[in-house]
A = this chain, B = another copy of it.
Amino acid sequence: MNFSVQIKVMPLRELLDPQGKAVMGGLQNLGIKTIQDVRIGKNIQLQIEATTPEEAKKIAENASTKLLANPVMEYFEITLL
């Protein structure tokens, strides 16, 4: 069976997010002043061939720790769609 899995990779909360800060500056220059914080991460969608949802999740977790997320700077969340 084919499973659609979504992985959210975000910068750790303890760390500054310079990309987010830059975007917030851009938004304020555009006159959007009610936005107080911006954090930018990655959203990765995988199509995984597996027999059970649990297996698909495990494959996604393996891929995240091995390649998709850098644990020094990022955390990740896996959702089965």
Q: Which residues of A contact B (CB under 8 A)?
A: 2, 8-10, 20, 23, 26-27, 30, 32, 34-50, 59, 62-63, 66-68
Contact = CB atoms under 8 A, between A and B. Distances in A.
Contacts of A20: 44
22 contacts: A2-B36, A10-B45, A23-B44, A23-B67, A26-B67, A30-B67, A32-B62, A34-B48, A34-B59, A35-B48, A35-B49, A35-B59, A35-B63, A37-B45, A37-B46, A38-B44, A38-B45, A38-B47, A41-B42, A41-B45, A42-B42, A43-B43
B2 A32 contact: no
Contacts of A34: 48-50, 59
A63 B2 CA distance: 35
